Structure 1
Amino acid sequence: MSLNKDMGDAHEAHLAETLGMRQSRGSGNQWRDPIDARHNRLDTQYAFAVDGKSTLAKSLSITRAMWDKAVEQAGGERPMLGLRFYDDNARKVHADLVACELLDFAELLEAARQWERAKPVLEAIREAAPRCVPVITSMAHAVLEAGSGA
């Protein structure tokens, strides 16, 4: 295998694993499953589809055509470009970046801020379990566990 193929494959696998996505077969070269990795928009409001680009070079250009292709291939999920810069012969990752729509990022940021505000309330409900309605307590437990990645 070539160095470029190895770099790309490693990057795509890392994107899928880090973002909790399903990796597409054949680097997304299948007509029924384009793009490198994706979430399922039926499972989450914040479903992204990512096209990975990696390089050993000092720069990486993002073109309109590249973005338009990602938008088209996202097929209903939110498009994203994963950008990886490798150091010296791909032995070390210099930087892993993503590019997405500003409004998608703003929506994620607002959801994170809402979670930050809600978490102390849910924790207080969990701590006051003997005095709270059991259903509310179990809901708070479930939300806190889901939010912590447990």
Structure 2
Amino acid sequence: MSLNKDMGDAHEAHIAEVLGMRQSRGSGNQWRDPIDARHNHLDTQYAFAVDGKSTLAKSVSVTRDMWAKAVQQAGAERPMLALRFYDDASLSRVHADLAVCELDDFAELREAAQMWEQTKPLLEALIASRARCMPVLVAKAERLLEEEQGR
């Protein structure tokens, strides 16, 4: 294998693992399964499709054409570019892993995170109080908190 292929393969596997995505076959080169990794928009409101770019160089360019291709290939998911800078050819050290997405998508994710931060103490208080009139709500709150801790 070539160094560029090894870099790309390692980066794509990392993207899929960290973001809980399905990795596309053939590095996204199939017409029916473009882009490197993706969520399913039917499973989550925050589904992304990611095109990974990795390099040993000191810089990587993000072009309009590159972004337009990611947007087109993302389909119903939100487009993202993942940029990885490797420190050396052994590929054992990563200098930086970056994500490029629409500012509106980032703002929406940030707002959802802020809502969760505000809601979490209320759910914890509800569980602690063991409100008798709301056992279904208490059980749902417990599940949400368990899911959040499992991430």
Task: Give the TM-score taking structure 2 as reference length.
Answer: 0.96
Q: Does 1:50 align with 2:41?
A: no
Q: Does 1:21 align with 2:27?
A: no
Question: How far did 1:119 drift?
Answer: 0.1
- What secondary structure does 2:41 align onto? coil
RMSD: 1.1
> 1:4-23, CA deviations, whole angstroms, 9 ceiling, x for partnerless residues?
10000000000000000000
Identity %: 73
Q: Does 1:36 align with 2:36?
A: yes
Give the conservation status (yes or no) of the 8 Å contact 1:125–1:132.
Answer: no
Distance of 1:41 and 1:66 partners within structure 2: 22
- In the alignment, which residue of structure 2 is the partner of 1:124? 125
> 1:44-84, CA deviations, whole angstroms, 9 ceiling, x for partnerless residues?
00000000000000000000000000000001100000000
- In the alignment, which residue of structure 1 is the partner of 2:148? 147
Alignment map for 1:50-129 (pairs within 5 Å): 50-89=50-89, 90-129=91-130
Task: Give the TM-score taking structure 1 as reference length.
Answer: 0.97
Distance of 1:66 and 1:45 partners within structure 2: 24
Distance of 1:74 and 1:56 partners within structure 2: 26
Letter in 1 for 2:101: C
Distance of 2:47 and 2:122 partners within structure 1: 27
- What secondary structure does 2:150 align onto? coil
Moved over 3 A (4+): none
List gaps (5 residues or longer) in structure 1. Answer: none
